[in-house]
Copies of this chain bind each other. A is one copy, B any other.
Amino acid sequence: MSSMTAPRPLPIRCADCPIRYRAVCSPCDEGELQELERIKSYRTYEAGETIAWAGEKLSLVGSVVEGVAMLSSTLADGRRQMVGLLFPSDFLGRPGRESVSYDAVAATRVTFCMFQKREFERLITRTPRIERRLLEMTLDDLDAAREWMVLLGRKTAREKIATLFVIMARREATMHDQPAGDGLRFPLYISREAMADYLGLTIETVSRQISSLRREGVFTLEGNRTVQIHDLARLIEEAGDDADGGLAN
């Protein structure tokens, strides 16, 4: 598919915002890069700070440069479900849509590289390649959401925790261009409460399942939020996935 459109293989990066070109406009030509450069800006939120409320009109779109943000929805009586976790290079905002659909909250201190939605939309209209890239990213998000639906609807508490840890481990390894394997250390970034909201559990159940896997030697914890994997194969097995499904590749 990329063979259809890519004018050259990339990667292009910019010094102060290395993630941006991967996320928004890979590939871009020089003119498009300069235009993006002109309209970009940065914004940092502290941990716990609300970036946007569901239903609010948001005039910015952009990518996470550093840190982690959460997308979540709250029922009338306060039950909360996280519907997405945004890591560096992930895109926030919906070009062509009036308002955001979910609460966006900073999980850690998080920095965005942002664009005025209006200007970004104008650029998109002139640059089909960026629109193609947005479609790509949205399809990825859709796949991730559907994979998570399987977890929420059908997995046990233990499988949910194992799946989350496997995904976090893979992410961390990929980020540092390492193979994922035993001995890998990585931060969880989010609180037990956030994990519970992500996995459709309570914090007590999250805590118990983590303790259980830790006691069985699958991993150890350094402090509360850093994991060191000891038996990745076991963790993958505990994740209970489909034979050829998402985690196996």
CA distance in complex: A71, B135 (Å): 20
- B83 and A149 contact, CB distance less than 8 A: yes
Is A45 close to B, CB under 8 A? no
Is A102 close to B, CB under 8 A? yes
Interface residues of A in 1-16 (CB under 8 A from B): 1, 4-5
- A131 and B135 contact, CB distance less than 8 A: yes
- A102 and B146 contact, CB distance less than 8 A: yes
CA distance in complex: A77, B241 (Å): 9
Nearest B residue to A1 by beta-carbon distance? B96
CA distance in complex: A4, B126 (Å): 11
- A146 and B73 contact, CB distance less than 8 A: yes
- Can you list 14 contacts pairing A with B, beta carbon distance less than 8 Å? A4-B121, A5-B125, A55-B244, A71-B146, A75-B155, A76-B242, A81-B154, A97-B139, A101-B146, A141-B142, A142-B142, A142-B145, A145-B145, A154-B200
